[in-house]
Amino acid sequence: MADARSSKSPVGFWASSSERHSLLEDVQGVVAGSMLAALGVTLLSSAHLLIGGTAGLGFLLRYSTGLSFGLVFFLVNLPFYWIAYKRLGLAFTLKTFSTVALTSLLTEILPGLIPIGAIDPLVAALFGGLLLGTGMLALFRHRSSLGGFGILALYLQDKFGWRAGFVQLGLDFVVLGVSFFVATPFVILCSIIAAVMLNLTLAINHRTDRYIVR
């Protein structure tokens, strides 16, 4: 009887269940995912690489205009919050807004706290893509995202069962295609490797039929 009662106890700040994260777990997941994503962006930026999604748009605008990545990344995500609210709910939208804001802030702070000198672009692509993918995996599992294409990828996965990683990979290649106008072929090649690393991490590790906690 005790087990039955405990399994039906409400989820609170500390307590969670097999079907739902607690508030504390969600906060930790959002913060950890944002930290990993920001570190991945820092590695990619140090090698002047690109990536897909709204992060890729942020890189393109940064390299072409000189604006800070954090500011651009925050601004380009604003139109997607309405889609998130209408399709995925208020909680997802608020967590995603918090994630984007925190990631934007951290990408501005980290270069001063973790100065990175010369870094091989291929190494930056592998580790930066892996860090971004792992960060997004943590965010997805707590019903959050880095906004933009991640919102669309999650919606399509929920709606049609399409794997979020593969959906985002296709969208990423569209953004990377534009990068031919602002980057060298070697930089683009390394950027594609980073995008593949990111999205394979998601595609292999994130499936809603394996991980059902909300």
Q: What is the pLDDT along the chain (214 residues), one digit of tens a residue?
A: 444 444 444 555 565 555 677 778 888 999 999 999 999 999 998 998 877 777 777 888 877 777 888 888 888 888 788 878 877 789 889 999 999 999 999 999 998 898 887 889 999 999 999 999 999 899 988 888 888 776 777 777 777 888 777 887 777 777 777 777 777 889 889 988 998 898 788 888 876 655 554 5
pLDDT number for residue 1? 42
- What is the reported pTM? 0.77
Instruction: List the helix and strand counts (H, then E) for the chain.
Output: 10, 0
pLDDT number for residue 5? 42
pLDDT number for residue 196? 86
Burial class (CB in 10 A: 0-12, 13-18, 19+), 49: buried
**Residues 6 or more apart from 186 whose CB is under 8 A from it?**
121
Tell me, yes or no, whether 16 lies in a domain: no
Tell me, yes or no, whether 109 lies in a domain: yes
pLDDT number for residue 13? 56
Tell me, yes or no, whether 49 lies in a domain: yes
Q: How many CB atoms lie within 10 A of CB 176?
A: 21
Radius of gyration of the chain, Cα coordinates, nearest whole angstrom: 18
Six token digits for residue 98: 């918090």
To the nearest 10°, report the CA torsion of 58, 182, 130, 19.
40
- Decide: 15 and 9 in contact? Cβ < 8 Å: yes
Tell me, yes or no, whether 13 lies in a domain: no
How many structural domains is the chain composed of? 1
pLDDT number for residue 60? 80
> Residue 52's domain spans which residues?
22-204
Tell me, yes or no, whether 7 lies in a domain: no
What is the end-to-end Cα distance of the chain in Å, rounded? Answer: 25
Buried b (16+ CB within 10 A) or exposed e, 54-63: bbbbbbbbbb
Tell me, yes or no, whether 210 lies in a domain: no
